[in-house]
Structure 1
């Protein structure tokens, strides 16, 4: 069993470091041109939407704060040529577009003229400066932007092309403004929902604490006295097989991202990896192959009685909100770590969202997050691994162990471990409370579904 644990922990470490190892083997090629910051794109859209709705456009949107985050132009003038310098210059040009949009055309022109005065500029930047100089300073609005400018600056090129055009005179302008308004409405709806959910969570959390200390909450997860030892062994083996297989898939996926392959080959490889990830669900059958009796298998996994499923779903929803304060605590710890270490946590699907994923890609993302992750991850972590840990330690330590390992294998980065671990702990508490997996599966699906829906309306 010690060897099995060692293999499992090494596999978790391999998952965490798979991206770094893949980049060492196949160094990723730099994108041809540094793209826009999705965060600034979102802030600009929200500010435009608020302005269109008659609200203060600059609420929470400090243009000068964005400028302060950039390398000053005086330093960039004589800086050696590098991709970083190109990216900083491109960011200043995009800021000029934002400044012009929000009424500070003089500052926008000043930025463009300053960059135009540089003795040496990368060729794409020189072309973009000439384009913006002609557009904002000379006043030539009839010459359309070149395709290269649009490719390099994406949404900012679309915004610049509709500068000072009334929405009634341009379908493109109307589309940009309508899209901005939709994002503000989504932000208000989710913000209001979050406030209501937070109040409900606080009430439910207090009720849960009172009931817990009053010994009116009974933990239903049990390890039968007649449970054979093979159950404990097979449960740990199932977790180990999962993390080993997941490490292989993650490593192959990281290599694929850096490989210089044709689009057709990449698509086929991506489909194969996606199929392999779904196939991991079959690993939950491993204990049966190892000879675990069906009665003990269903108890270890947390299979409910069919008639109890509706009740357990309701318990999962109530439990998710009741335990939400623990997630909020983890979130603030993550915020603190991110600020202290100036980290930039991200998830791979953010790039797909920001790039404008097609409906099929969105369907795949939602299916993985709302179906695969809740069912498979809960079966592995809160099913077999939690049951295995409870043979040796109590509920709290079992929740901490499973929560930490659950957080560690996620791709958001180490600063996100506190909030992800808090989620994992909550799911383990739900397993301990209800005895089956329905409640943690429900809570997991609810959380992922809410986050993805918000991302769909704000980022996509």
Structure 2
């Protein structure tokens, strides 16, 4: 014999709804599908190519001298990050999909505090590993200098025009961290969680994130430790806003260090 729950009315019903929320999170978070992930990568690549072609054409026509400088490269890289953000947004169905599937949710203050604490620990661990092997890279000062140079636009700062400086700052504050976190801790992590445990998803996203930056070997320990910390924070906070804050913070620190050294 089936048992039916008692019907609640008035104040009792409101109290029951308050104490037993039926939000999507309480029923289990939604995950990015393989089709959505592939669509996001496809849209991102297509938009990146179109933007790169358009920017190159406009720059060569309107400012041919500037187009022969590093400024054009900075502009194209910024456009690629913008394309990733736009492509993923299209693939998951717009801003609501970004909120639901890519976890772009406003965190609590304590969650931001947790993310910044994890960042400090990750940076200390990554730099510590690099310094432990600094004898192979010219000593401690040389290793630290190499980390800053590889993780920032230091090589471009001395000859950068005001427009290039502006593009570097805009990319740093609004594009790089947002794009990479929505991709790795948003789309890829969400897709992996459909079929893997949290530790496996965190480890795979950290390895993929490190592989993206592996063209600078000196950065590998720092990037890997950051990737593991960001994945853990993503799991603990159910938000990519926290990891975006982490990403912007470390990029900004490296940029300021580069400015001080240049």
TM bin, normalised by shorter chain, reads 0.5 to 0.7
2:102 aligned residue: 301
1:428 is matched with 231
Secondary structure of 1:286 counterpart: helix
3-state SS of 1:303 partner: coil
Q: Is the 8 A contact 2:44 2:87 kept in 1?
A: no
226 and 413 in structure 1: CA distance in 2 versus 1, 3 angstrom threshold: closer
Q: Indicate how the Cα distance of structure 1 residues 377 and 226 shifts in structure 2: closer, same or farther if over 3 A, else same.
A: closer
1:330 aligns with 2:126: yes
What SS is found at the alignment partner of 1:452? Answer: helix
Q: How much has 1:315 moved relative to structure 2?
A: 2.2
Contact 1:316–1:439 (CA<8 Å) still a contact in 2? yes
Rate the CA distance shift 1:338–1:237 in 2: closer, same or farther, 3 A.
farther
Task: Report the counterpart of residue 279 of structure 1 in structure 2.
Answer: 83
Structure index of larger Rg = 1
Once residues 387 and 320 of structure 1 are traced to their aligned partners in structure 2, the CA distance between those partners, rounded to angstroms, is: 22
> 1:371 matched to which residue of 2?
174
Aligned counterpart, 1:7: none
Where 1:362 maps in the other structure, the secondary structure is helix
1:263 aligns with 2:65: yes
Match 1:352 to one of 150, 153, 156: 156
1:282, distance to aligned residue in structure 2 (A): 0.8
Q: CA deviation at 1:436?
A: 1.6
Q: Please give the residue correspondences for 1:402-421 in structure 2 after superposition, counting only pairs within 5 Å.
A: 402-410=205-213, 413-421=216-224
Hey, what does 1:88 align to over in structure 2?
none
CA RMSD of aligned residues (A): 3.8
CA distance in structure 2 between the partners assigned to 1:316 and 1:412 by the alignment = 30
TM-superposed CA distance for 1:242, in Å, is 7.4
- Normalised to the residue count of structure 2, the TM-score between the two structures is 0.66
Q: 1:157-176: per-residue Cα shift (whole Å, max 9, x none)?
A: xxxxxxxxxxxxxxxxxxxx
Task: Tell me if structure 1 keeps the 8 A contact 2:102–2:187.
Answer: yes
Instruction: Return 5+ residue gaps in structure 1 as ranges.
Output: 1-220, 253-261
Aligned to 1:236: 37
Classify the secondary structure of the residue corresponding to 2:68: helix
Cα distance between partner residues in 2 of 1:403 and 1:236: 17
Higher relative contact order (CA 8 A, sep 6+): 2
Aligned residues: 218
Name the CA distance, whole Å, in 1 between partners of 2:97 and 2:84.
Answer: 22
Q: TM-score, normalised by structure 1?
A: 0.40
**1:68-108 alpha-carbon deviations (Å, 9 max, x no partner):** xxxxxxxxxxxxxxxxxxxxxxxxxxxxxxxxxxxxxxxxx
Matches of 1:299 and 1:381, distance apart in 2? 16
Structure 1: distance between partners of 2:214 and 2:115: 26
Q: Does 1:361 align with 2:164?
A: yes
Q: Residues 375, 364 of structure 1: CA spacing in aligned structure 2 closer, same or farther, 3 A cutoff?
A: same
| Alpha-carbon distance between aligned partners in 2 of 1:282 and 1:417, rounded to the nearest angstrom | 28
Residues 273/427 of structure 1: CA separation in 2 closer, same or farther (3 Å cut): same
**Does structure 1 retain, via aligned residues, the 8 Å contact 2:126–2:223?**
yes
Unaligned runs of 5+ in 2: 1-23, 54-63
- Tell me: CA distance 1:421–1:226, structure 2 relative to 1, closer, same or farther (3 Å): closer
Is 1:451 the counterpart of 2:262 in the alignment? no
